[in-house]
Amino acid sequence: MTGAVCVDTSDYPQADGVLTITPVFAAPVDANIQITPATATNAVGTNHTLTITVNTSGGMIAAGGGTATATITSGPGSFVGGNTCTYSGGSASASCTVVITSATAGTTAVSATSNIPVDGDGSLSRTTDGTAGSSGPAQMNWVDANIQIAPATATNPVGTNHTVTITVNTSGGTIAAGGGTATASIASGPGSFVGGNTCTYSGGSASASCTVVITSATAGTTKVSATSSIPLAGDGSLSRTTDGTGGNSGQAQKNWVDANIQIAPATATNEIGTNHTLTITVNASGGTIAAGGGTATASIASGPGSFVGANTCTYTGGSASASCTVVITSATVGTTKVSATSSIPLAGAGSLSRTTDGTGSNSSPAEKTWVDANIQIAPATATNAAGTNHTLTITVNTSGGTIAAGGGTATATISSGPGSFVGGNTCTYPGGGASASCTVVITSATAGTTEIKASTTVSVGGASLTRDTDGSGANSGPATKLWADDVVTTTVRNSAGNDITGQAVPAGTVVHDEATVSKAAGTPASVPDPTGTVDFTLYDNGTCDGNVVATDPGKPLVGGVATSADFTTTTGTFSYRAHFNGQPGVYPAHDGPCEAFEAGKHLTYGGSMEGALKFQPGAWVNGGYHFKLAQKNTSPVTVHVTGVINVPVHCGSAKGPLAAGSPIAIPVSIAPFTIPAGSTSWYLTGDQKNILGWMGSVQAPDLCGGGQTMYNSEGATFDVIVVSGAHTGGINFQWHYRIPAAKGKPDTNCLNASDPNRNRSDVCSASWSSTKDP
C-alpha cells in the first residue's frame, strides 16, 4: 500500500490513555481540467466564452476554491477582461470562464491550467494537454466576412439598364447553408432600381454573389451602396456594408452619360441660289465623345433645296462637344426643314442615337426660309415731250418673305441718253409688305432715247438681296424713255408764195405766215411726226412784242405745215409769231422765231447819169443814195430803205440783147436811220463821193459769157421800199451809180475805205439823180 493515512482520533475511545486504532485504508485522489467548447466558430470581433472546468476524483476541491489560467498558445486574439478565473470549492467539480475575442480571422488554440486544491490533500496541477483525463486545448475558429459591389465604376448611356453585382465573402469560414439577402441603395445621384433593390445569394461556400439592376433617365453620377447581414456557418452573422472599411469595397460609382444633337441656326433666311451652312453639334453630358469621333447625317424633312456636297459630316472625339457642317441651297423660294441625326459614340459607354426631334435636350429641325426678290421700273417704254417731267415708278417685290420694317432705298441711274433727275435719283419705299413702290422723276431738255436702270438692296427676313433691272430672273429690263422735241420754222409769204421774211414789200401787199413743225434732231425715229395746231399772231413792230394787229389761232398742221389767214399790209413794220400748241404727252409747245417784214412806199425811177458804159466781168459796180425831210419835223423821224439799184447789161453792143441774168442788182438796203428833229439835211451825206453815200457794191458777173465786154447805155433804175415813221412833208431821195472801170478809172469798190483810189475825186464822185418823193 502506498499513500498516507490520516486518522482523526477524536471519535475513538481511549483506555488508560491508550488509543487503539484499527487501520482503515482510503482510495487515492486525482483531478483533471477541461476547456470547452473544444472547438467553436465565431465571427471576428465578437466575444467567445470559454469554460474551464476542474474535476476531482476520490476527493473534493478544497473549500476555498482555486484559480484557472487560460493561455493563447497559437493564433490570433486576446482575452477580454483577463485570462484568469476563479472557481469555487467544496465539490468534486467546479467551473469558471474566460472571454476571448479576435479582430482577425484565424484559428486560436487556448490552453487552460490550474493548481487544483484538493480537500485535505494539498493540490494537483493540471493543464489541458490531453493527458490524464484533461482535455486538449480549445480551438477557436474566427470567421470574417466582407461585401463587394462591382463594377466599382462604370459609364452607361442614360435610359439603359446597368447590372450591379454584390458579392459577399467569408474568411475562415463559410456562408450558412441557407444563404442570405443583400440590399442595394442609391447613396447619391440620379436613377432607380429595376425590379427591386434586394437580391439573395446562396450559402455553403466562402463566397456568393447576386445582382441588382439600376437605370437613370438623366445624366449624372450615381453612388450605389450594398449591405448584408451575412449568415456564417456555425456561428451567427456579420453585418457588412460597402463603406470601404476592412475588406469591404467602397460604393459603386455609376456615370450616366446623356447626349443631344443640335442643328444651327435654328431659323435663317437666305437668298435663293446661295449656299447656307448648317452646323451640327453633338454634346455629351456626364462624359465625352469617344476618341474616334462620329458621323452626323442631315436630311431635308420638307421643303425645297438640296445639299451642296455630301449630307454627312464627321466630328471629332475626345471632348464633351463636337461639331461639323453641311451646306444646303435652293433655287426656289420656300421653307426647308432640315433634320440631323447621329449615333453618338460615348467614351466607355457605347453610343446614343440622337435626332433633332425637339425631345429631351435635342434641338428641333432647322428651318430655312429661302427668299427671292425682283425690281421693276415702269412704264417700260414711254414717249414724252422734251422739257417735261416724267415719273418712273420703281417697285420691289419679295417672294417667300416681306420687306424689312424699315423699308429700303431704290436708286435710279441713266445708263444712256440725255436727261437728268428732278429732285434726286433715289427714293425710299416702305417695309412690312411683300411689295412696295416709290417714284423718281426724270426730264430732258433735248430729244433722244434715255435708258434708265433701277437697283436696290432689299432686306428680307434678315437677308440682303441686291436686285437690278437687268432683265434677269423676274427683274424687269431698264425703262426706255423717248424724248420728242419739235422745231418750228416760219416764213412770211406774199400771195404768190414768195418768201418776204425780213424784207420790205409795198403797202397793200397781201401776206400770210407759214409755220412748219418738224421733229427736232435727236427725236427717235419711232416717234410719229408732230400733229396739232398753230396759233398765229401779227404784231405792229418788228420784234413780236408790239400791239397785236391780228390773230389766227388753232390752225391745224397739214403735212407738218400750218398757214395763217391772209393780211393786206399797210405802211409800217410788222412781225409774225407762230406758236405750236404741242402734242400732249409727245411734243412740247414751242414758239417759232419772230419773223419781221415791212410794208412801205415803193419808190422806183430811172436815170442815166453815167452815160454809155462798157466793162468787163469782175468790174466793181457801185450804187448809193441819200434822203432828207422836205420840211422840219418836231420829232425825230425814222427812215428804213430796202431795195436795189438795177443796172441792165447788153451783150455785143449797147444795142445788143439783154444778157441772161440782167440786170446787175446792187443791194442798197440800210438799217433804219433816224433823222433828228428839226433837220432838213441830207442823210447819210450830201457829198456825192463820201463813202456814206454809197450803200452797195458788187463785182459784175460774166453775164455774156466767155469774159465778153458788157454794155450799158440806158442807165439804171432805183427800186426801193421806203418805210418811215410819222412825219409831215415829203421825203426827198436822190441816187447814183458808178462803174469806175467803165469810166476809164481804176477798178474801185467805193465802199472800201482802205482803197486809196476811192478818195480820188474822179473815181467815186458820181452825179446824183433827180429828186423824188415816194
d(CA 33, CA 138): 12
Distance CA 517, CA 579 (A): 10
Q: Is the pLDDT of residue 1 over 50?
A: no
* Lowest pLDDT segment from 7-21, 224-238, 477-491: 7-21
Residue 5: which pLDDT band, with cuts at 50, 70 and 90?
Answer: very low
Name the pLDDT band for 759 (thresholds 50, 70, 90).
confident
Q: Is 297 helix (H, G, I), strand (E, B) or coil?
A: strand
- Bridge partners for 288 per DSSP: none
Residues in Cβ contact with 495 at an 8 Å cutoff, skipping those fewer than 6 apart: 509, 510, 511, 566
Predicted pLDDT of residue 27: 58
Neighbours of 178 (CB within 10 A): 11
Instruction: For residues 696 and 694, give the distance between their C-alpha atoms in angstroms, rounded to a whole number.
Output: 6
Mean pLDDT throughout 411-438? 98
Which of helix, strand or coil describes residue 484? strand
Helix, strand or coil, per DSSP, at residue 742: helix
Residues linked to residue 536 through DSSP beta bridges, in sequence order: 552, 578
Distance CA 631, CA 281 (A): 119
Q: What is the DSSP letter of 83?
A: S
If you search the block for the grid coordinates 451809180, which residue do you land on? 737
pTM (2 d.p.): 0.63
Strand pairing report for 479-484 and 381-385: parallel
pLDDT of residue 14: 52
Q: Where are the beta strands (DSSP E) in 118-179?
A: 123-127, 138-150, 153-157, 161-171
Amino acid residing at 773:
D
Angle at 234 between CA 233 and CA 239, to 5 degrees: 60
Q: How far apart, in Å, are the Cα atoms of 423 and each of 120, 385, 449, 451, 452?
A: 150, 19, 21, 18, 16
Task: Give first-to-last CA distance, the chain, whole Å.
Answer: 224
Q: Which amino acid is at 523?
A: T
Looking at residue 24, what is its pLDDT?
45
Question: Is the pLDDT assigned to residue 227 strictly greater than 60?
Answer: yes
| Interval 136-189: pLDDT, tens | 999 999 999 999 999 999 988 998 999 999 999 999 889 999 999 999 999 999
Q: Decide: residue 351, CB within 10 A, 0-12 exposed, 13-18 middle, 19+ buried.
A: middle
Residue 327's Cβ-side half-sphere holds a number of Cα atoms within 13 Å equal to: 6
The mean pLDDT value of the chain amounts to 94
Tell me the per-residue pLDDT of 344-381, one tens digit each, with 9 for 90 and over. Answer: 999 987 899 999 999 999 999 999 999 999 999 999 99
Residue 270 to residue 303: CA distance in whole angstroms: 14
Is residue 20 scored above 80 in pLDDT? no
Does pLDDT of 497 surpass 50? yes
Q: CB count, 10 Å around CB of 30? A: 16
- Amino acid residing at 701: P
- For residue 695, which of 611, 756, 764 has the smallest C-alpha distance? 764
Q: Which has more confidence, 450 or 17?
A: 450
Residues 6+ apart with CB under 8 A from 460: 269, 271, 371, 373, 398, 400, 401, 402, 403, 404
- Secondary structure of 428-473 in the HEC alphabet? EECCCCCEEEEEEEEECCCCEEEEEEEEEEEEECCEEEEEECCCCC
Residues 6+ apart with CB under 8 A from 10: none
CA 81 to chain centre: 92
